[in-house]
């Protein structure tokens, strides 16, 4: 670690009360007591009490004693203290309470008592981190000699953060299987912040849409039980299965994602999250817990660990490889070894490196937080250096948008970089796919989490400036193993979602002759064969000026719309409803980002008012911060909101008392708008606000959404002389989206 190591055992101790276990996301008064060591602390010496960069714990404040997170500090000898909160420590211990000793000093044994969430004058306490953590540390650093040379204490105060009571229920099925295939149902209760919880006490009635062999009528979860797994299920006839979760009294707890069962299919669906970090770099909990959560709590089929390369020393790289091999179990679970190449944006930005086997080199972008003896493999400071170093490796690279975004214009190697990440906890980034089209690249779409909170495969943003739920990718594979996964990535046979598990099929059908390529012919000689149709990710040369695109979606929630794209251009919108079906429901959406990099957040704080009408109720979507719910006026005249978007969208639905009367006004920092209710219809009424797709949209929906399935064909006229990348974007009423990998129809 890049901190001083001078006599840490003689610089004092720090203790915390209460130690817990404490409920993640709750408000608790905390007291940290530092006892000075042998040398005391000199005049203008200081403490840094720091916690991890990725934590969404409350921000300490010093001005409002009745509000959450009110923080005080005293010295037991009466020395005056200056206290502030900032982010000025070395990664990953960035969040920092800085306590400087002024107008005095500390002798050995004298104390500084820090109260975070001090309840003395009415503060409800400190809002704890919203994700569970077996070892949440307030890492304590001491500048005893007033040299600004801080030393980490050997033992720092720690908390154990555990889940709260269940607030919602998830039910996971696969999305494509054959008749007679065995499959499983996973039932996961989650607390209000998205942590799987063992505090459920519930009898559940299972309500399947089709009779499934092996499915019990009822199940029971008791306190102490984890997620419930029901294995050995099957369907003997083709059909579409969804399973409802109900109380014995008939109240709906939740509904599973859809499962399509067919007689014959060359591929099945497997879901993965190939991108996230643990606390060995900048995340939460250990690498071992990371792999275990993905398999046993999120119930995904595949996972890869992606720590920042400049924090992975050789010992950690060996441990990541060891655990990937341990957890990889063909037919049950796939774990890939890998890392995040974390070059500066101008050098190419973030890229995920996924190896097919263990024991391969780690080519870091830098060794800024590592010593030379800790990292033996050579550095690749630019992304083209990385591509050159990886020549001949059995590897796949993904372009990622995180704190640093992948600038795919700096360099690209289509032989190993076959996909771009369109969504993660950082937000939604369809622009990177459009960048690839403009540059002539032929890439697929993946969505992963870049989870920092110990929840790969089920990542929620919590109360931080992460703007979105982590994504998932559905891989079309003949079997669950590493070779099939790498082959699916190399052929772009996958689609990505914003974390939901919906069924999506996109097929292009050709009226005349077509030539299907096994690899991209732009990269060298490629084998080909005659074809009459193509699936997502395929590269095809087709005769004729038109193609028929056949699309089938079974949503995990009612479908709002499906948009068809040719490259970056939307060419058609399909909805399960028409103008005649619209009712009293108005959808209000804000969306977009300021910029591609770290300052991308758009802050939407404001009010939506109705004049000459009132709303009967309002319902939010994609408002993930439980500390900032919609604020509904009792008289139905206004809705207050406080939200952040990072390329994704959020908003609410209003059910009006009168379907046509009045005027709606929207006031926030990015947008101010007024529109007559009668003018809001099927199509978007849009108020763009610059940035990256930043703006406001309003449109009308049927009073209730019932349609989970949408099937259509779209005739597409091809533009001659260039690639025609055809893909669809699915939008559900619950705010989730999905993107198919493009079918590339090439000149």
Burial (CB count within 10 angstroms: exposed 0-12, middle 13-18, buried 19+), residue 628: middle
pLDDT digits (tens, 9 = 90+) for 476-514: 999 999 999 999 999 999 999 999 999 999 999 999 889
465 pLDDT more than 80: no
For residue 422, count other CB atoms closer than 10 A to its CB.
30
Dist CA 87 CA 485 (whole Å):
40
DSSP string across 681-693: -SS-EEEE-STEE
Dist CA 385 CA 692 (whole Å):
30
Looking at the domain assignment, is residue 517 inside a domain? no
Please tell me whether residues 105 and 244 are part of one structural domain. no
What are the two backbone dihedrals, phi and then psi, of residue 386, each rounded to the nearest 5 degrees? -60, -50
Dist CA 426 CA 410 (whole Å):
22
Query: What angle do the packed helices 287-296 and 314-327 form, to 10 degrees?
Result: 20
Q: What is the pLDDT of residue 544?
A: 78
What are the two backbone dihedrals, phi and then psi, of residue 324, each rounded to the nearest 5 degrees? -60, -45
Mean pLDDT of 436-459: 97
Please tell me whether residues 259 and 341 are part of one structural domain. no
Please tell me whether residues 238 and 156 are part of one structural domain. no
637 pLDDT more than 60: yes
Boundary (domain end) residue, out of 220, 239, 265: 265
pLDDT digits (tens, 9 = 90+) for 182-227: 999 999 999 999 999 999 999 999 999 999 999 999 999 999 998 9
Q: What is the pLDDT of residue 512?
A: 86
Looking at the domain assignment, is residue 646 inside a domain? yes
Burial (CB count within 10 angstroms: exposed 0-12, middle 13-18, buried 19+), residue 522: middle
Contact 591, 429 (CB under 8 A): no
Please tell me whether residues 429 and 354 are part of one structural domain. yes
What distances in angstroms separate CA 485 from CA 352, 429, 482, 536, 537, one per listed residue? 15, 23, 5, 15, 14
Boundary (domain end) residue, out of 162, 177, 205: 162
Nearest to 433 by CA among 408, 404, 410, 451: 408
What are the two backbone dihedrals, phi and then psi, of residue 539, each rounded to the nearest 5 degrees? -115, 120
Contact 443, 523 (CB under 8 A): no
Sign of the Cα pseudo-torsion (513, 519, 522, 524, in order): negative
Burial (CB count within 10 angstroms: exposed 0-12, middle 13-18, buried 19+), residue 651: buried
Q: Using 50, 70 and 90 to split pLDDT, how confident is the model at 599?
A: confident
Chain-centroid distance, C-alpha 164: 21
Q: Using 50, 70 and 90 to split pLDDT, how confident is the model at 54?
A: confident
CATH classification of the domain holding 644 = 2.60.40
Dist CA 309 CA 426 (whole Å):
19
Helix locations, 390-506, DSSP H = 430-439, 482-490
Query: What does the mean pLDDT of the chain come to?
Result: 96
Burial (CB count within 10 angstroms: exposed 0-12, middle 13-18, buried 19+), residue 292: middle
Contact 181, 41 (CB under 8 A): no
pLDDT digits (tens, 9 = 90+) for 574-597: 999 999 999 999 999 999 999 999
Q: Is 56 helix (H, G, I), strand (E, B) or coil?
A: coil
Q: Using 50, 70 and 90 to split pLDDT, how confident is the model at 91?
A: confident
Contact 268, 177 (CB under 8 A): yes
pLDDT digits (tens, 9 = 90+) for 337-386: 999 999 999 999 999 999 999 999 999 999 999 988 899 889 999 999 99
Please tell me whether residues 299 and 428 are part of one structural domain. yes
Dist CA 518 CA 526 (whole Å):
6
Looking at the domain assignment, is residue 565 inside a domain? no
CA angle 95, 100, 101 (to 5 degrees): 155
Q: Using 50, 70 and 90 to split pLDDT, how confident is the model at 2?
A: low
Q: Which domain holds residue 404?
A: 269-501
Percentage of residues in the chain having pLDDT higher than 90: 94
Looking at the domain assignment, is residue 295 inside a domain? yes
Please tell me whether residues 196 and 287 are part of one structural domain. no
SS (H, E, C) 275-294: CECCCCCCCCCCHHHHHHHH
Looking at the domain assignment, is residue 450 inside a domain? yes
Looking at the domain assignment, is residue 108 inside a domain? yes
Q: What is the pLDDT of residue 342?
A: 96
Q: 573 preceded by cis ω (within 30°)? A: no
Q: What is the pLDDT of residue 632?
A: 96
pLDDT digits (tens, 9 = 90+) for 713-738: 999 999 999 999 999 999 999 999 99
Q: What is the pLDDT of residue 578?
A: 97
CATH classification of the domain holding 198 = 2.60.40.10
DSSP string across 135-167: EEE-EEEEETTSSS--EE-SS--EEEEE--S--
Q: What is the pLDDT of residue 598?
A: 86
Please tell me whether residues 280 and 426 are part of one structural domain. yes
For the chain, what is the domain count? 4
Q: Using 50, 70 and 90 to split pLDDT, how confident is the model at 466?
A: confident
Burial (CB count within 10 angstroms: exposed 0-12, middle 13-18, buried 19+), residue 138: buried
Please tell me whether residues 423 and 278 are part of one structural domain. yes
Nearest to 306 by CA among 297, 317, 293: 317
Contact 18, 105 (CB under 8 A): no
pTM of the prediction? 0.96
Q: Is 320 helix (H, G, I), strand (E, B) or coil?
A: helix
Looking at the domain assignment, is residue 535 inside a domain? no
Percentage of residues in the chain having pLDDT higher than 70: 100
Helix locations, 242-338, DSSP H = 287-296, 314-327
E-strand ranges in 544-584 read 546-554, 559-566, 569-574
Please tell me whether residues 182 and 286 are part of one structural domain. no
Dist CA 47 CA 33 (whole Å):
11
Please tell me whether residues 345 and 409 are part of one structural domain. yes
Looking at the domain assignment, is residue 514 inside a domain? no
Task: Provide CB contacts within 8 A for 282, sequence distance 6+.
Answer: 52, 53, 54, 91, 92, 307, 308, 311, 452
Dist CA 641 CA 338 (whole Å):
40
pLDDT digits (tens, 9 = 90+) for 300-316: 999 999 999 999 999 99
CATH classification of the domain holding 480 = 3.20.20.140
pLDDT digits (tens, 9 = 90+) for 246-277: 999 999 999 999 999 999 999 999 999 999 99
Dist CA 343 CA 365 (whole Å):
5
Please tell me whether residues 395 and 287 are part of one structural domain. yes
Query: For residues 74 and 3, which has the higher predicted lDDT (pLDDT)?
Result: 74
Boundary (domain end) residue, out of 479, 501, 523: 501
Mean pLDDT of 552-568: 98
Contact 12, 49 (CB under 8 A): no
Q: What is the pLDDT of residue 373?
A: 83
Please tell me whether residues 388 and 423 are part of one structural domain. yes
231-259: string of b/e by CB count within 10 Å (b at 16+)? eebbbeeeebbbbbbbeeeeeebbbbbbb
pLDDT digits (tens, 9 = 90+) for 99-136: 999 999 999 999 999 999 999 999 999 999 999 999 99
């Amino acid at each position: 670690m890049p901190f001083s190591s001078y006599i840490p055992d003689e610089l004092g101790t720090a203790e915390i009360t209460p130690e817990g276990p404490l409920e993640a996301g709750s408000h608790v008064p905390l007291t940290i007591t530092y006892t000075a060591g042998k040398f005391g602390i000199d005049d203008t010496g200081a403490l840094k009490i720091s916690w991890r960069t990725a934590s969404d714990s409350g921000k300490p404040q010093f001005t409002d004693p009745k509000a959450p997170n009110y923080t005080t500090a005293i010295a037991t000898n009466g020395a005056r203290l200056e206290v502030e909160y900032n982010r000025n420590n070395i990664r990953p211990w960035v969040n920092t309470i800085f306590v400087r000793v002024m107008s005095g000093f500390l002798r050995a044994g004298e104390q500084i008592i820090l109260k975070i969430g001090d309840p003395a004058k009415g503060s409800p306490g400190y809002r704890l981190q919203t994700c569970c953590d077996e070892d949440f540390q307030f890492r304590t650093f001491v500048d005893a000699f007033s040299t600004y040379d801080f030393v980490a204490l050997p033992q720092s105060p720690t908390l154990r953060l555990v889940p709260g009571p269940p607030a919602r229920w998830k039910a996971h099925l696969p999305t494509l299987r054959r008749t007679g295939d065995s499959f499983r149902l996973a039932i996961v209760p989650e607390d209000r912040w998205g942590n799987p919880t063992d505090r459920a006490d519930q009898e559940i009635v299972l309500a399947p849409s089709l009779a499934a062999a092996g499915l019990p009528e009822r199940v029971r979860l008791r306190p102490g039980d984890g997620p419930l797994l029901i294995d050995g299920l099957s369907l003997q006839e083709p059909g579409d299965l969804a399973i409802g979760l109900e109380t014995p009294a008939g109240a709906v707890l939740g509904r599973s994602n859809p499962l399509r069962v067919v007689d014959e299919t060359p591929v099945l669906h497997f879901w993965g999250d190939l991108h996230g970090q643990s606390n060995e770099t900048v995340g939460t909990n250990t690498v071992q817990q990371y792999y275990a959560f993905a398999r046993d709590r999120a119930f995904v089929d595949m996972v890869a660990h992606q720590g920042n390369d400049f924090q992975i020393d050789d010992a950690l790289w060996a441990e990541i490889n060891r655990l990937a091999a341990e957890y990889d179990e063909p037919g049950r679970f796939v774990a890939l070894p890998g890392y995040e190449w974390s070059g500066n944006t101008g050098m190419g930005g973030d890229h995920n490196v996924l190896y097919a086997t263990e024991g391969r080199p780690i080519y870091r972008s830098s060794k800024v937080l590592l010593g030379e003896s800790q990292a033996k493999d050579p550095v690749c400071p630019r992304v083209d250096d990385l591509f050159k170093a990886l020549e001949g490796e059995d590897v796949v690279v993904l372009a990622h948008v995180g704190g640093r975004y992948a600038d795919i214009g700096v360099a690209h190697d289509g032989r190993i970089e076959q996909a771009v990440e369109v969504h993660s906890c950082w937000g939604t980034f369809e622009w990177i796919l459009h960048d690839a089209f403009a540059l002539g690249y032929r890439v697929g779409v993946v969505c992963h989490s870049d989870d920092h909170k110990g929840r790969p495969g089920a990542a929620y943003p919590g109360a931080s400036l992460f703007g979105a739920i982590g994504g998932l990718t559905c891989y079309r594979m003949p079997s669950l193993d590493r070779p099939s996964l790498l082959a699916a990535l190399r052929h772009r046979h996958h689609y990505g979602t914003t974390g939901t598990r919906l069924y999506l099929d996109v097929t292009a059908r050709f009226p005349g002759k077509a030539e299907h390529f096994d690899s991209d012919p732009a990269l060298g000689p490629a084998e080909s064969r005659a074809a009459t149709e193509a699936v997502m990710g395929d590269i095809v040369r087709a005769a004729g000026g038109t193609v028929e695109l056949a699309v089938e979606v079974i949503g995990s929630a009612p479908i709002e719309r499906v948009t068809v794209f040719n490259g970056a251009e939307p060419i058609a919108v399909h909805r399960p409803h028409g103008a005649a079906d619209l009712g009293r429901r108005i959808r209000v959406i804000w969306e977009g980002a300021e910029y591609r990099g770290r300052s991308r957040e758009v802050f939407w704080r404001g009010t939506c008012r109705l004049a000459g009408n009132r709303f009967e109720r309002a319902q939010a979507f994609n408002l993930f911060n439980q500390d900032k719910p919609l604020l509904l006026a009792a008289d139905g005249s206004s809705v207050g909101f406080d939200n952040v978007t990072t390329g994704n969208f959020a908003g609410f639905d209003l059910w009006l008392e009168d379907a046509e009367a009045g005027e709606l006004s929207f006031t926030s920092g990015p947008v101010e708008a007024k529109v007559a209710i009668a003018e809001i219809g099927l199509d978007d009424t849009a108020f763009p606000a610059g940035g990256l797709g930043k703006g406001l949209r309003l449109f009308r929906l049927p009073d209730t959404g019932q349609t989970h399935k949408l099937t259509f064909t779209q005739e597409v006229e091809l533009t001659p002389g260039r690639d025609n990348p055809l893909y669809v974007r699915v939008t559900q009423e619950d705010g989730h989206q999905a993107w198919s990998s493009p079918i590339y129809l090439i000149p």
